[in-house]
Amino acid sequence: MMEVENPAQKIWQDQPVEGIKMSAEIIQKRAAKFERRIMWRNVREYVASLIAAALFGYFFVTAHDVLSRVTFGLFIGAMLWIVVQLHRKGSATSLPRGVDTLTSLRLYRGELERQRAVVRNVWSWYLAPLLPGFVVYTIGYAIRFQRPSAWAGLALMDAIVAGLFVVVWKMNMRAARCLQRMIDDLNAVE
């Protein structure tokens, strides 16, 4: 298999090696650990949204007035929409093995670009679907409790929600910048 036409090839091929061997047991353990890591990463993406949807489902069933039901119905719809979008857009995909280097680098860059687009557009698929629920909740609460102290509390709650939206958006923008750096790195080494 090995042909030597250059002294450097001989230097390279004659270098001492340690003869590292891996038992089948160790390989299987490591492979299983890797599979578990991937599985939990995918599971984590959905569990939080599904728990929230179940919670809103409970509130929906036990709510006494129409506006509350509409509110929780909108939240449930938003959560399910987010789960579907996470599945369609956000799931980490495994790159095919055994492809040539150029293809591998291109696929990897494509995957990074896809992930960057997902986090950059977090407003459209994650935050915006939650807004109708909050708006209806605010209107319903304001109608139900018509006194200044209740409205002040409502304003505070909305401010906190708005703050959380900004935090989520900023975290995603930071993730997008990180992905951009990885893409730049990849372009630099290709």
Partner 1 sequence: MTSAQDELYSEAAQTYGEALERLARAYEADADLGRDLVQEIHVALWRSFDGFDGRCSLRTWIYRVAHNVGASHVLRQRRTRGQELVGLEELENLADTNSGQSAADRGHALDRLLGLIQRLKPLDRHVILSYLEGLDAASIGEITGLSARNVATKIHRIKNMLARQFQQGGSES
- Cβ atoms within 10 Å of 115's Cβ, excluding its own: 20
Residue 65 vs 185, nearer CB to partner 1: 185
What is the C-alpha separation between 35 and 43, in angstroms, rounded? 12
Task: Tell the smallest beta-carbon distance from residue 149 to partner 1 (Å).
Answer: 52
Of the pair 108, 125, the CB lying nearest partner 1 is at 108
Instruction: Decide if 136 contacts 74 (C-beta within 8 A).
Output: yes
Give whichever of 65 and 184 is closer to partner 1, judged by the CB atom.
184
Q: Which is nearer to partner 1, 81 or 108 (CB)?
A: 108
Looking at the Cβ atoms of 38 and 54, the one nearer to partner 1 is 38
- Residue 130 tokens read as 């939650």
Least separation in angstroms between residue 133's CB and partner 1 is 39
Residues binding partner 1 (CB under 8 A): 1-4, 6-9, 11-13, 15, 17-22, 24, 26-28, 30-31, 34, 96-105, 108, 181-182, 185-186, 188-190
Residue 7 C-beta: closest distance to partner 1, Å: 5
Amino acid letter, residue 111: E
Smallest separation (angstroms) from partner 1 to the CB of 13: 7
Cβ pair 127, 81 in contact under 8 A? no
What is the distance between the terminal CA atoms of the chain, rounded to a whole angstrom?
A: 28
Nearest to 83 by CA among 59, 56, 113: 56
Helix (H) or strand (E) holding 148: helix 148-189
CB of 178 to partner 1, least distance (A): 10
